[in-house]
């Protein structure tokens, strides 16, 4: 027998979950026809929902013991929800996917084939269009991927979704990365393994609305850069070097001008501008260092990544 764990992070998804459950059961059924040895478990992570998500999940579990769940004590974010799903999973293979049907279950058979028959450790999906997404968001997303790939050694794929299947070995290596500031897209790139990429067209969510505001995405992008690159830390060094060089040339210029023409340099406003500029650059660099220091501070506290209020394992015990 082979067990597939499907991990689904849910934040206020009461409308979407019934559609999702129906679709994934359909896929599971058709896959068990092709591969009779297959078994499934569906792990829903309730990421501190304030609507009826939890009762919808418990309703599903009543009739289907393949449904398991972890309910967080508050909203810990999608990254924490994925981590919790990995922790609780028991499967030989693990699939992570969204509850809103933006990750088409129909791709699952191909993904399973990649890890069982084609010798891959993982099969991941990326969308090749961003249809239905606000224009400005697409522009920023593209810029972010270009930037982070230039700055970091972790290979981060543009348009990659968190929809992927992995072998147990890969799951265990992700679980061994217990960092508090999690950026899954970077973690996948960092741990390596052989990944097959499956492409599909963007699908719009079936019900409910997106949980990611522009600001939340922006902070997530900064998190990714700080988590997987130390290049911003060297900004101060380069700024400093350039500034010293420029001012050295400036001093030479003033001395020569004085010797040749004998007139003193005039104008204090230019001086004030230069001072303000340098002060600004210094503050900026201190801010960058502060960002890293802040993350280091949080890491050093070794707080848990999530806190579960209730899990389906409680009743099994
Ligand atoms: N999600 C979550 N915690 C959060 C934000 C989102 O568990 O803090 C879940 C959400 O329920 C969904 C998935 O992560 O299943 C993706 O979120 P969403 O569809 O809102 O993002 P988008 O597809 O618009 O990028
Ligand atoms: Mg979505």
For residue 133, report the phi and psi dihedrals to the nearest 5 degrees: -105, 145
Predicted local distance difference test score (pLDDT) of residue 285: 86
Cα 11 to ligand 2 centroid, rounded to whole Å: 11
Of ligand 1's listed atoms, the one at least distance from the Cα of 99 is 15
Q: What distance, in Å, lies between the first and last C-alpha atoms of the chain?
A: 24
Range from 42-46, 193-197, 270-274 that averages highest in pLDDT? 42-46
User: Which residues are near ligand 1 (CB < 6 Å)?
Assistant: 9-11, 13, 47, 75, 77-78, 81, 98-100, 102, 205, 210-212
Q: Over the Cα atoms of the chain, what is R_g?
A: 25
Nearest CA to ligand 1 atom 18: 210
Ligand nearest the Cα of residue 11 is: 1
Q: Using alpha carbons only, what angle is made at residue 239 by residues 237 and 242, rounded to the nearest 5 degrees?
A: 105
**Ligand with smallest separation from the Cα of 306:** 1
* Cα(212) to centroid(ligand 1), Å: 7
Torsions phi, psi of 122, nearest 5?
A: -160, 150
Residue 9: what pLDDT? 95
Closest by CA position to 13, among listed 65, 69, 88: 69
Contacts of 102 (CB under 8 A, 6+ apart): 161, 202, 203, 204, 205
- Quickly count: other Cβ atoms within 10 Å of residue 301's Cβ: 7
Helix (H), strand (E) counts: the chain: 11, 8
Q: What is the pTM of this model?
A: 0.80
Residues 145, 99, 7, 190, Cα dihedral to 10°: 0
Q: Which residue has the tokens 């220091």?
A: 293
- Closest ligand 1 atom, residue 211 Cα: 20
Q: Directed axis angle between helix 269-301 and helix 214-228, to 10°?
A: 80
* Cα 184 to Cα 240: distance, rounded to the nearest angstrom: 34
Contact by Cβ (8 Å): 85, 70:
yes
Counting from 1 in the atom list of ligand 1, the atom nearest the Cα of 47 is 7
Q: What is the pLDDT of residues 201-255, one digit of tens each?
A: 877 777 777 778 888 888 888 888 888 888 888 888 888 888 888 888 888 888 8
Quick one: pLDDT at residue 265? 60
* pLDDT higher than 90, residue 41: yes
Q: Of the ligands numbered here, which is closest to the C-alpha atom of 10? A: 1
Window from 99-103, 262-266, 288-292 with minimum mean pLDDT: 262-266
CA of 98 to the centre of ligand 1 (A): 7
């Amino acid at each position: 027998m082979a067990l597939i764990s499907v991990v689904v992070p849910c934040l206020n998804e009461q409308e979407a979950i019934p559609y999702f459950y129906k679709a994934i059961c359909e896929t599971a059924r058709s896959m068990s026809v092709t591969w009779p040895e297959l078994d499934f478990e569906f792990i829903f992570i309730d990421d501190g929902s304030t609507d009826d998500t939890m009762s919808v999940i418990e309703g599903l579990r009543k009739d289907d013991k393949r449904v398991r769940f972890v309910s967080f004590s508050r909203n810990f974010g999608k990254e924490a929800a994925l981590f919790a799903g990995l922790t609780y999973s028991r499967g030989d293979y693990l699939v992570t996917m969204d509850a809103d049907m933006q990750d088409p279950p129909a791709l699952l058979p191909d993904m399973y084939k990649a890890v069982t028959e084609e010798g891959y450790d993982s099969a991941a999906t990326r969308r090749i269009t961003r249809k239905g997404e606000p224009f400005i968001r697409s522009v920023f997303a593209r810029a972010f991927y270009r930037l982070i790939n230039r700055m970091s050694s972790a290979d981060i794929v543009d348009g990659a979704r968190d929809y992927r299947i992995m072998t147990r070995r890969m799951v265990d290596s992700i679980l061994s990365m217990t960092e508090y500031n999690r950026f899954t897209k970077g973690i996948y790139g960092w741990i390596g393994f052989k990944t097959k990429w499956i492409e599909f067209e963007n699908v719009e969510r079936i019900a409910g609305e997106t949980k990611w505001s522009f600001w939340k995405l922006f902070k997530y992008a900064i998190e990714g850069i700080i988590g997987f690159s130390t290049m911003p830390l060297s900004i101060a060094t380069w700024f400093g070097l350039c500034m010293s060089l420029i001012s050295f040339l400036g001093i030479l210029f003033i001395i020569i001008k004085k010797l040749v023409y004998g007139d003193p340099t005039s104008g204090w406003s230019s001086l004030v501008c230069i001072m303000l500029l340098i002060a600004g650059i210094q503050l900026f660099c201190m801010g960058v260092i502060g960002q890293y220091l802040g993350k280091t501070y949080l890491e050093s506290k070794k707080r848990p990544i999530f806190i579960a209020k209730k899990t389906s394992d409680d009743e099994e015990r």
